[in-house]
């Protein structure tokens, strides 16, 4: 019989120290590629985008109406004849003094005109004369969008290290860029560990053996990685045999920047990932002072000399806890910044906003706690009733986390720091 000695209780590492230590090990990827602007959402720019033109290219109208010389309209009711019609995308003739031009939104301003009178402030003159009553005196510049008011030539419109957003794609396109230079996608191999895990679809719910559970972590981890621009090799559940584990890790290390696993990093746990990573590289098991999410592992796996240019750098290894909420929270607070840094992007954890708690926490925890909460219609925060690290419903019901320091209780109405999932999952 093997007697397991309880592991000595290691001092807890703070989340800030864990993050700093993790980020300190990243060498940002140097490879970059040119991708179609259409496909560049959430990718990180590898170079500054400098505008070769001004946007908009010409002064143009921001209203449907009439372009005028403001000096021609000194009092309401002036009648001007319409000397031309300018639609968006068509060139304008210089505006003859004492006349106006019918103009549409986005159409270039005719030379000489300095204001637009909106259609609603005009009235067509009846009969054969093609003219309009101008019923409002325009200010010079009224309803005119100036050339270059969005972007001037030569400016850095989007910077290297910036992550592209849908608006960013539009802005790049407005400069005429059909392709943009972005940092290569991090290549991530994803493994799950645990003999109890079954893939949905393999066994129907009614036939699940006692103790078996469906692998849920694999689903959200893959989606989270993809949102961060990673190319994911989903290697499924690693067979619980030493040789198979070693072989899977070795192959993954050669072709990936990170091996990410969930489960099997608790103190004293028996599984093959830990000794295999230790054999092929190094592994540190951290006990992080956070809840959920205490056990966490960082390590590296050496690459084969044949692994090409990347052989000089070992492959990163991160082992997340198995409990689904622990896995989820440690991903967003630690792995996300790690992957952003790997792409040379800003790694700031989103800044919390202070919101009133519409709940209480009467028992202070020894660890910094990330509570699953939801904003309510009164502008406060409601707490999900079951904060257990196994209850994934809390992360679906919630729209964010309260970052509650260790040793702190919360009274109803207290201002508490709230981090929204919208930002943490972006």
Given the rule CB under 6 A, which residues bind ligand AMP? 192, 194, 196-197, 213, 215-218, 262-266, 269, 321-324
Integer-rounded Cα Rg, in Å, for the chain is 30
Report the C-alpha gap between 402 and 419 in whole angstroms: 6
Q: Which phi and psi angles does 349 have, rounded to 5°?
A: -70, 135
The window from 40-48, 137-145, 192-200, 329-337 that contacts Mg ion (CB under 5 A) reads 192-200
CB of 350 to Mg ion, least distance (A): 31
Work out what residue 218 binds among Mg ion, ligand AMP, none; the CB cut-off runs from 5 to 8 Å by kind: ligand AMP
Nearer Cβ to ligand AMP (172/283): 283
The nearer residue to ligand AMP, 234 or 399, going by C-beta atoms, is 234
What contacts 24+ positions apart, CB below 8 Å, involve 212-216? 216/324, 216/392
| Residue closer to Mg ion (CB basis): 188 or 197 | 197
Q: Residue 124 or 270: which CB sits closer to ligand AMP?
A: 270
Q: Give the dihedral of Cα atoms 203, 209, 213, 218; nearest 10 deg.
A: -40
Tokens (6 digits) for 227:
């949102």
The tokens describing 335, both together, are: 């792995």
Q: Which is nearer to Mg ion, 186 or 263 (CB)?
A: 263
**215 or 404: whose CB is closer to ligand AMP?**
215
Q: How far is the CB of 219 from ligand AMP (least distance, A)?
A: 9
- CA 189/CA 235 separation, integer angstroms: 7
Residue 361, CB half-sphere, CA atoms under 13 Å: how many?
27
Torsion angles phi and psi, residue 123, rounded to 5: -145, 130
Q: Which does 245 bind (CB under 5 to 8 A by kind): Mg ion, ligand AMP, none?
A: none
Among 65, 110, 131, 263, interactor with Mg ion by CB under 5 A: 263
- 324 lies in the binding site for Mg ion (CB under 5 A): no
Of all residues in the shown chain, the one whose CB is closest to ligand AMP is 322
216 binds, among Mg ion, ligand AMP, none (CB under 5 to 8 A by kind): ligand AMP
From the number of C-beta atoms within 10 Å of its C-beta (0-12, 13-18, 19+), residue 415 rates as exposed
Please give the distance of CA 381 from its chain centroid, rounded to a whole number: 23
Rounded to the nearest whole angstrom, what is the least distance from the CB of residue 321 to ligand AMP in the complex? 5
Q: Which residues bind Mg ion (CB under 5 A)?
A: 194, 263-264, 322
């Amino acid at each position: 019989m093997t007697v397991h000695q309880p592991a000595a209780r290691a001092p807890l590492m703070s989340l800030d120290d864990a993050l700093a230590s993790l980020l300190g090990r990243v060498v940002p990827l140097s490879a970059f590629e040119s991708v179609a602007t259409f496909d560049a959402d959430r990718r990180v720019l590898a170079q500054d985008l400098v505008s070769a033109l001004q946007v908009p290219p010409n002064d143009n109208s921001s209203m449907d109406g009439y372009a005028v010389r403001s000096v021609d309209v000194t009092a309401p009711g002036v009648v001007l004849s319409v000397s031309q019609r300018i639609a968006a995308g068509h060139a304008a003739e210089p505006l003859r003094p004492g006349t106006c031009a019918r103009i549409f939104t986005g159409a270039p301003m005719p030379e000489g005109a300095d204001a637009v009178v909106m259609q609603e402030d005009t009235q067509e003159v009846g009969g054969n004369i093609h003219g309009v009553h101008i019923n409002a005196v325009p200010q010079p510049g009224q309803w005119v969008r100036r050339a270059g008011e969005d972007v001037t030539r030569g400016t850095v419109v989007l910077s290297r290290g910036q992550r592209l957003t849908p608006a960013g794609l539009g802005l790049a396109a407005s400069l005429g860029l059909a392709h943009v230079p972005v940092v290569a996608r991090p290549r991530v191999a994803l493994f799950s560990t645990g003999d109890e895990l079954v893939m949905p679809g393999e066994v129907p719910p009614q036939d699940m053996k006692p103790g078996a559970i469906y692998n849920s972590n694999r689903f959200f981890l893959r989606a989270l990685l993809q949102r961060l621009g990673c190319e994911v090799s989903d290697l499924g559940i690693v067979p619980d045999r030493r040789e198979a584990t070693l072989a899977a890790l070795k192959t993954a290390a050669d072709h990936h920047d990170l091996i990410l696993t969930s489960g099997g990093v608790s103190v004293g746990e028996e599984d093959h990932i830990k000794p295999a990573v230790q054999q092929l590289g190094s592994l540190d098991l951290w006990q992080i002072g956070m809840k959920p999410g205490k056990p966490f592992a960082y390590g590296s796996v050496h690459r084969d000399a044949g692994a090409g240019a990347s052989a000089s750098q070992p492959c990163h290894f991160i082992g997340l806890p198995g409990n689904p909420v622990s896995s989820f929270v440690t991903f967003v607070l630690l792995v996300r910044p790690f992957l952003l840094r790997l792409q040379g992007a800003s790694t700031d954890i989103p800044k919390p906003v202070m919101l009133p708690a519409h709940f209480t926490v009467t028992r202070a925890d020894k660890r910094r706690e990330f509570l699953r909460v939801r904003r309510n219609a009164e502008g406060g925060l409601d707490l999900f009733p079951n904060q257990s690290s196994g209850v994934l419903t809390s992360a679906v019901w919630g729209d964010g986390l309260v970052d509650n320091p260790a040793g702190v209780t919360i009274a109803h109405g207290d201002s508490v720091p709230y981090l929204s999932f919208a930002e943490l999952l972006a």
